[in-house]
């Protein structure tokens, strides 16, 4: 029996918008890499560092900050992190050197993990009978933020230059921070949990829980594929094969938004006990997508098809992973989130760095080979480490606190 009324639809949509904007802050730079390389007189591999720093900072925040959601009052923690994220975006907006841009990116990356505190908070606030729908809505906002950040960034940069992207993003984050302060209820944490114990328990969860460990490594591998592609796509599209500007490059994020639709389908299939086949099917699609993307320099249509297939595959496997790990221990959702998403974004940082290095050394062919190798590694990992669940857990049995 629920101890609280159903969540207002307006609050659920606000949380979805807020998670999307927070995570988007780490992706605004991706369609701008060629522009940033020219603005700061650096090579494309060095420009790729802004994406790597964002993802490493996000991974650090996931490990060091997200567990605080089990200890501190959540509304104050969330709003404080959103405000800090706005500070980082303002530093980036005012930066006159690449070093200052990296500093602003570091601050924003660390604090934008507020999105990963909002997701389990939504699960906690929701009544049991609506929890799946609420989490699905909030996660759709997060996925759309990742993908549409590129579109917004490209359009703003084409109108007012790359600085404009960060000025507008900072204003949006400040606005949503104020709305969250007004809309979210206060929710006390457990101050008896010491900070060292919280961090230690995250690492202990990875050490002691083979299901979480297997899904975390898989998440890292698929997000490495995702980040490798999206980090280098701007180089291909702005290069001699296409010669597109930032506005057109950003529009490719609209194509990737199909992944958000796949997320809902993946969740429904997983709820019906088909999660293992969703994982296998998604990884096969991921490998096939690199076959299509090999022809990307010569065919726009094959590039579009490859983008669709890659994003549907990655988001489907990701939501399948989450449907498994959130059944493990409802009382430790923040720490489970911290463990899984930390590994996820470490994989993303590795993928971004690998992609920039591969493109600098071997062009687009190097990117395709690297992506295909990662996809094969994910398939091998599933074969040796991931086992199908014996039966799905009925939604009514989930108890969040």
DSSP code string of 79-128: HHHHHHHHHHHHHHHH-SSHHHHHHHHHHHHHHTTHHHHHHHHHHHHS-G
Sequence-distant (≥ 6) Cβ neighbours of residue 282 within 8 angstroms: 222, 266, 312, 313, 314, 316, 317, 320
Query: Which domains are seen in the chain, by residue range?
Result: 9-391 (1.20.1250.20)
- pLDDT value at residue 120: 80
CA distance 306 to 300: 10
Tokens of residue 109, six digits: 């990356």
pLDDT in tens, 39-86: 898 887 788 889 889 888 988 898 889 888 878 888 999 999 999 999
Give the span between the Cα atoms of 158 and 316, in whole angstroms: 32
Contacts of 271 by beta carbon, 8 Å cutoff, 6+ apart = 132, 323, 392, 395
What is the structure's pLDDT at 101?
Answer: 95
d(CA 67, CA 315): 24
pLDDT single digits (tens) 197-233:
888 888 888 888 999 999 999 999 999 999 899 889 9
The whole-number average pLDDT for the span 294-303 is: 94
149 in Cβ contact with 27 (< 8 Å): yes
Q: What is the pLDDT of residues 317-373, one digit of tens each?
A: 887 787 778 778 767 777 888 889 889 888 988 998 899 899 989 999 999 999 999
Q: What is the pLDDT of residue 93?
A: 94
Q: Confidence class of residue 178 from pLDDT cuts 50, 70 and 90?
A: very high
pLDDT, residue 123, reads 75
Give the predicted TM-score (pTM) of the model: 0.74
DSSP 272: I
Q: How far apart are the first and last CA of the chain?
A: 13
């Amino acid at each position: 029996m629920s101890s609280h009324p159903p969540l207002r639809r307006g609050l659920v949509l606000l949380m979805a918008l807020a998670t999307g904007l927070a995570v988007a802050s780490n992706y605004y730079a991706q369609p701008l890499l060629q522009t940033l390389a020219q603005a700061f007189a650096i090579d494309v591999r060095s420009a790729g560092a802004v994406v790597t720093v964002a993802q490493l900072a996000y991974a650090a925040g996931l490990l060091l900050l997200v567990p605080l959601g089990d200890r501190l009052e959540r509304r104050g923690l969330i709003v404080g992190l959103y405000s800090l994220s706005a500070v980082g975006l303002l530093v980036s907006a005012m930066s006159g050197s690449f070093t200052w841009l990296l500093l602003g990116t570091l601050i924003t990356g660390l604090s934008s993990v507020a999105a990963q505190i909002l997701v389990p908070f939504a699960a906690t606030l929701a009544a049991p009978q609506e929890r799946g729908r609420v989490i699905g809505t909030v996660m759709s906002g997060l996925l759309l933020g990742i993908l549409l950040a590129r579109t917004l960034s490209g359009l703003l940069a084409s109108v007012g230059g790359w600085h404009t992207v960060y000025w507008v993003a900072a204003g949006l984050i400040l606005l949503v921070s104020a709305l969250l302060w007004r809309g979210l209820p206060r929710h006390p944490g457990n101050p008896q949990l010491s900070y060292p114990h919280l961090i230690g328990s995250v690492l202990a969860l990875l050490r002691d829980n083979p299901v979480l460990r297997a899904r975390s490594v898989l998440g890292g591998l698929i997000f490495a594929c995702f980040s490798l592609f999206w980090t280098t796509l701007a180089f291909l599209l702005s290069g001699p094969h296409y010669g597109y500007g930032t506005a057109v490059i950003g529009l490719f994020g609209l194509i990737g938004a199909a992944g958000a639709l796949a997320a809902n389908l993946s969740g429904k299939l997983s709820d019906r006990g088909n999660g293992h086949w969703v994982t296998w099917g998604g990884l096969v699609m991921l490998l096939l997508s690199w076959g299509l993307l090999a022809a990307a320099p010569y065919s726009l249509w094959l590039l579009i098809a490859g983008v669709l297939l890659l994003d549907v595959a990655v988001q489907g496997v990701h939501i399948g992973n989450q449907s498994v790990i959130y059944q493990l221990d409802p009382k430790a959702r923040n720490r489970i989130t911290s463990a899984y998403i930390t590994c996820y974004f470490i994989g993303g940082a590795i993928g971004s760095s690998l992609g920039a290095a591969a493109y600098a050394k071997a062009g687009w062919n190097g990117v395709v080979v690297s992506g295909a190798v990662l996809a094969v590694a994910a398939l091998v990992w599933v074969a040796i480490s991931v086992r199908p669940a014996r039966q799905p857990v009925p939604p009514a049995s989930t108890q969040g606190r």
